[in-house]
Amino acid sequence: MEHIYDVAVVGGGIAGFSAALSLKSLRLDYLWLGDAEFGEKVKNSEYVRNFPSFVGDGKQFFEALMRQKEREEIAFTHGRADGIFRTKDLFAISVLPDMYSARAVILCTGVDLRGKLQGEREFSGRGVSYCAVCDGALYRGKRIAAVLSSPDFIGEAEYLADFAEKVYAFAPFEAAFEHKNIDLCHDLPRSIEGNMRVERLLSDRGTYDVDGVFLLRKAVPPEALVGGLRTEGAHAIVGRDMATNLKGLFAAGDITGLPYQYAKAAGEGLVAAHSAKRYLSEISKI
């Protein structure tokens, strides 16, 4: 007979881990599923400066999380969900060729910040960053490029200019910046080059010698994974209890919106687990 989990957590990052930790302590039968444990966003962080009690870089953060996972005996199932469907009172999670069933789901699939800039992946964590607030202070007195996908990121470029000697802001729109050390560039960024770390950004018009490149983008919408999920841009719309518009489906972490931060992801994972427990108690009374 098919096994039916109480809760399936989809996504192997901090939000998913936090949800799985809480589900275990709440004594629920959970499936924690992801295509990677913690993944690149943890391992590639140059320095984790804002997660309470932790001091170190991404690699050390990853190791600490793995130690905790082992100590708490948190089970992880490797697999990429290709569809989540609501059947009568259950969710079916497709991980081709397998199918899992759960009464509730916590969606923790993050946002995909990567694009198609040549060299971007190679230098991720070695000068390429996606988060001005996380890494801006590392570039005090340095020259950086900020690639802005929309005017929503003007504030982040200004934030970077507080630290950097010079910010080249690449934007496909007109923008006025308060900081005098921001140069607006309408060139099209093509590739990132360097040796051990980023050394330059090449555009369709020239070469910029920089120590870092910030790629400030909106992410991909999640409704492709869960039909009927209400979203706003790249993010699932949730309430304070992390509930989405679909009964029994919760979301936590970057997928629910800015700020993209470990502490927020961990907190939301915990809240979602408690909300899922409450939801299960309610449906068991019906």
Ligand X SMILES: Cc1cc2nc3c(=O)[nH]c(=O)nc-3n(C[C@H](O)[C@H](O)[C@H](O)COP(=O)(O)OP(=O)(O)OC[C@H]3O[C@@H](n4cnc5c(N)ncnc54)[C@H](O)[C@@H]3O)c2cc1C
Q: Which of 9, 15, 104, 273 binds ligand X (CB under 6 A)?
A: 15
Q: Does 11 bind ligand X (CB under 6 A)?
A: yes
Integer Cα distance of 257 and 234 in angstroms: 8
268 φψ region: left (φ > 0), alpha (ψ -120 to 50), beta (else): alpha
| Least distance from ligand X to the Cβ atom of residue 165, Å | 22
Q: Does 81 bind ligand X (CB under 6 A)?
A: yes
Q: Which of 14, 47, 88 shows the shortest CA–CA distance to 254?
A: 14
Q: Which of 16, 119, 194, 212 binds ligand X (CB under 6 A)?
A: 16
Return the number of the residue (44 or 203) whose C-beta is nearest ligand X.
44
Integer Cα distance of 268 and 260 in angstroms: 12
Q: Does 45 bind ligand X (CB under 6 A)?
A: yes
| Least distance from ligand X to the Cβ atom of residue 248, Å | 18
Q: Of 1-9, 34-42, 160-168, 276-284, which segment contacts ligand X by CB under 6 A?
A: 34-42
| Least distance from ligand X to the Cβ atom of residue 281, Å | 26
Sheet with 207-209: list strands edge to edge. Answer: 189-194, 198-203, 207-209
Q: Does 10 bind ligand X (CB under 6 A)?
A: yes
Q: Does 106 bind ligand X (CB under 6 A)?
A: no
Q: Does 108 bind ligand X (CB under 6 A)?
A: yes
- Tokens 């984790």 belong to 48
What values do phi and psi take at 284, rounded to 5? -70, -20
Interacting residues of 72 by C-beta distance below 8 A, sequence separation 6+: 21, 24
Return the number of the residue (63 or 187) whose C-beta is nearest ligand X.
63
124 DSSP β-pair partners: 128
Give yes or no for a contact between 35 and 12, defined as CB atoms under 8 angstroms apart: yes
Q: Which of 218, 34, 183 shows the shortest CA–CA distance to 111?
A: 218
Return the number of the residue (136 or 189) whose C-beta is nearest ligand X.
136
Per-residue contact flags (x/-) with ligand X for residues 234 to 263, judged by CB under 6 A? -------------------xx-----xxxx
Q: Which of 91, 130, 153, 170 binds ligand X (CB under 6 A)?
A: 130
Q: Which of 122, 128, 166, 126 shows the shortest CA–CA distance to 144?
A: 166
Binding site for ligand X (CB under 6 A): 10-16, 33-36, 39, 41, 44-45, 48-51, 80-81, 108-110, 113, 124-125, 129-131, 134, 225, 253-254, 260-263, 265
